[in-house]
Chain A
């Protein structure tokens, strides 16, 4: 059974960077897109971006594309999301989520990590 295991909580200063990891255990990693979705405290869901590991292709939300980079390490079955120039409104839970359709970037998400809390203060 495939699981997405995310790295632990982070506390960062404004202006610094954070890199969150998402490891897929069990199952095929390289052919299925991993997306990142964030949730500010008490708020709704916001798409951040995604990557298809086998191709290395990425897509980003326009409002974040200057500050976010998503990468994948096929050998470690791990995806990463790095966010730079952190601000207080970047505080929130960051989820990784898998698209269940091979080689599709844009679709629904059938499998989610538990989330990584990033606090900017």
Chain B
């Protein structure tokens, strides 16, 4: 089973700042099959990025994904008020599907 470690656990930033979230896998993720989701309180997760760097439909271009192998990054270039939420990475290159423990992006 591939274990995904997300860091930091909490990121305290101000609107307009840049956010950099990390997701590190315990072994290489096949074909860079890694996704990122945003989850606001009381809501279902929303797909942001798939295949490590492809933006999902309707996702603003301030969200970008990068990385390969075992190290992946989600970058939010300029935080908007609605971006303060939890973020999860997920790998789907091998079974079982696994999620990271999440990063909370909170208002500083």
Footprint of B on A, CB under 8 Å? 35, 37, 44-47, 59, 61-62, 95, 97, 106-110, 112-115
Contact = CB atoms under 8 A, between A and B. Distances in A.
Given A112-B45, A115-B44, 19 more contacts: A37-B99, A44-B99, A44-B100, A44-B101, A45-B45, A45-B88, A45-B102, A46-B99, A47-B97, A47-B98, A47-B99, A59-B95, A107-B50, A108-B51, A109-B47, A109-B90, A110-B56, A113-B44, A114-B44
A108 B47 contact: yes
A59 B92 CA distance: 13
B47 A61 contact: no
19 contacts: A44-B99, A44-B101, A44-B102, A45-B37, A45-B45, A45-B90, A46-B99, A47-B97, A47-B98, A47-B99, A95-B44, A107-B33, A107-B50, A108-B35, A109-B35, A109-B45, A109-B90, A110-B56, A112-B44
A22 to B, nearest CB: 12
Interface in B31-59: 33, 35, 37, 43-47, 50-51, 56-57
Interface residues of B, number: 23
B96 interface: yes
B interface secondary structure, majority: loop
Contacts of A45: 37, 45, 88, 90, 99, 102
B5 to A, nearest CB: 12
Interface of B: 33, 35, 37, 43-47, 50-51, 56-57, 88, 90, 92, 95-102
A47 B96 contact: yes
Contacts of B51: 108
Nearest to A63: B96
Highest count of chain A CB atoms <10 Å: which of B37, B88, B102:
B37
Nearest to A112: B44
